[in-house]
Structure formats: C-alpha cells, structure tokens
Amino acid sequence: MHLSRVDLNLYMVFEAIYMESSITKAAERLNLTQPAVSHALGRLRDTYEDELFVRAGRKMVPTPVAKAMAEPVQLALAQLQKTLINPSHFDPAETSKHVVLGMRDVVESVFLPRVMTCLQTQAPNLSLSSIRIDRQNMESELATGNVDIAFDVLLPIKGAVEHAVLMSDKFAVVVRKGHPLTQGKFTLEKYLSHSHIVVSSRRSGVAVEDFELSRRGLQRKIGLRCQHYFVGWQVIRETDMVLTVPEGYARYQQLLGDTVVLPLPVDLPSLEVHMYWHKTVSNDPANTWLRHLFLQMALGESDQV
C-alpha cells in the first residue's frame, strides 16, 4: 500500500496505545473519545492485517507485528515533531545530511580540501558527493534536488535557478621546469608558437581562452584535447606543451614544485565561477550555510567560518 493512502494520524494513535497499554488512557492522552481511538485501531488492523494489540486483563498487549513497528513509528513521529517545533533549525554539528555538489575539476581541486577540513570540525557527520553534470542538465538536476549546489561559469539560466559569483580568476600559463618559455622574456609570440592543451568535456568547440584570443585575431595550435586539468598537468610535466589554466588552480598545483607558472602574455577577461542553486532551497538553512561556507572560502576567510 502506498503511504499516500494511509492517514498518518493513525500512527499517533498506535504510538499512544503502545505507550499507555490502554485504549482509554490513549484517548485521554490524545484528547479523543474512546470510540474514536477504537475506530482508528480498527483501521490500522485492516491495513496491517494483524490485531496489533490484544487484551490481556486490563492491558492492551502489542503483537509481534506491533513490537516491530513501534521503534520506526516513534522515530518518524519524533522527526516530524522536530520540524513543527522549529522547521528552520539547522545545527551543523548535529546534522547527518548528505549533500551533492555539481563540480568541475578546477573548483573541486581548489575548494574541496579546504571545505572538508572545515567540515571535520564544524559538521563532522555531514557528507558530500562531488559529481560532474552536463551543463544542459544543470537546471533539472537542481530542480529535482539531485544536486544541491552547482558550480560553473556564467550560463544562461531560467529564473527558477539563482546564482552568485563565487570567484573571479585570471588565466595563467603552466609549463614544466626548464621549458624553453622560461628562458628569456615570455612573449605572446612565444606563447602562440608552442603546442597547447585544451581541457574540455565537450568533443569539439573552443575553450574560453581561445574564444577571447580569436576576438583579437589570434589562434593557438592545439596539440591535445583532454577532459581534466589534472591530466593536462601530467602531460606538461613530460613534454614541452603548454597549459593555460585559472591562476588560482595553477598556484594550488604548483605546490608540487615541478612546474612553473607564468603570467598570460595577453590581457584576457578574468574567468568567473558562479555558484548555482534552485530557488526552492534559497531559504533552506542547510543549503544557505553551505553556500556561505563556499563564499567565505573564496574570500580566504575559512578560519572565520
């Protein structure tokens, strides 16, 4: 039987009889008449095809079926009661929520380590999943609740999806140590003369930096197209290829010490990363808390979150 066909008030009657071991006392507890409680019990008996409670002297004794039901029913009613007492309450230290984030590898690499460090102390039982979603599916994923928050560049979106700028980052060039581009002055001509790596999940099409270069009548030679910046980073360690990435990601990965980060020798607009969420969770305390956490991480204020 589907839950929609069951009167949830019947479970309050069940719980009262279970706790009081008496129809009369259950009626007093619920401020109902004894016939009303007996009628509710009858409906539950029909639903479960079990007596649930049988009379033993002056007490109503639960059957094995009722005993198995008791704890789940009590827990469910307690959870519902919490939402009625304070539906907007959210305590990071107590939550056991599972949150799904739609992320690409740059945002994932830069933010997740710091976010998880913070969650270990402030929300130790909150768990995260980071998944990659197609841009054309982002609105539906957020609307259905399959994804709680998504991160991407500025996209054309409908009014049901809200967004805010998470970070703005310049582009930088990454090459291996000892690369020819590290010798002498780094010029645009030298930059364009080398083979480049494009990171994109699409099979074809230009990257953001190529679009901006084309507006200036410039074009790079693309030697490799791959799906993840991490892979591109591995390739430049072994070759003379060039990888253009957001500067924040470049500085983060440079901690490994075997690559060199150079300023892009042409002035391109900064890359903006936006945070997206559905309007139905705009006032959700858990979602709001996590969005605030990411914004403070972006501002470098993680120690104050």
- Judgement on whether residues 59 and 205 belong to the same structural domain of the protein: no
Query: Which residues span the domain enclosing 162?
Result: 98-167+272-304
User: How many domains does one find in the chain?
Assistant: 3
What are 222's two structure tokens?
Answer: 């693309």
- 258 in Cβ contact with 175 (< 8 Å): no
- Judgement on whether residues 157 and 282 belong to the same structural domain of the protein: yes
For residue 109, count other CB atoms closer than 10 A to its CB.
Answer: 18
208 lies in a domain? yes
Q: Could you give the CA distance from residue 39 to residue 51 in angstroms, rounded to a whole number?
A: 13
27 lies in a domain? yes
pTM of the model: 0.63
CATH (domain of 233): 3.40.190.10
CATH (domain of 15): 1.10.10.10
What are 195's two structure tokens?
Answer: 């083979």
- Judgement on whether residues 220 and 285 belong to the same structural domain of the protein: no
Q: Could you give the CA distance from residue 232 to residue 227 in angstroms, rounded to a whole number?
A: 8
Which DSSP helix (H) or strand (E) runs through 244? strand 242-246
Q: What pLDDT, on the 0 to 100 scale, is given for residue 88?
A: 63
Tens-level pLDDT at each residue, the chain (305 residues): 556 666 888 999 999 999 999 999 999 989 999 999 999 999 999 999 999 999 999 999 999 999 999 988 888 887 777 666 555 678 999 999 999 999 988 888 888 888 999 999 999 999 999 999 888 889 888 988 889 999 998 888 877 899 999 988 899 999 999 999 999 999 999 999 999 999 987 888 888 889 889 989 999 999 999 988 889 999 999 999 999 998 888 877 766 667 899 999 998 888 889 999 998 898 889 999 999 999 988 877 433 33
Using the 3D structure, point to which of 31, 62, 85 is the last residue of a domain: 85
198 lies in a domain? yes
Q: Could you give the CA distance from residue 226 to residue 217 in angstroms, rounded to a whole number?
A: 24
- Judgement on whether residues 158 and 10 belong to the same structural domain of the protein: no
CA distances from 254 to 225, 250, 261 (A): 22, 6, 7
- Judgement on whether residues 280 and 135 belong to the same structural domain of the protein: yes
Q: What pLDDT, on the 0 to 100 scale, is given for residue 75?
A: 83
3-state secondary structure of 13: helix
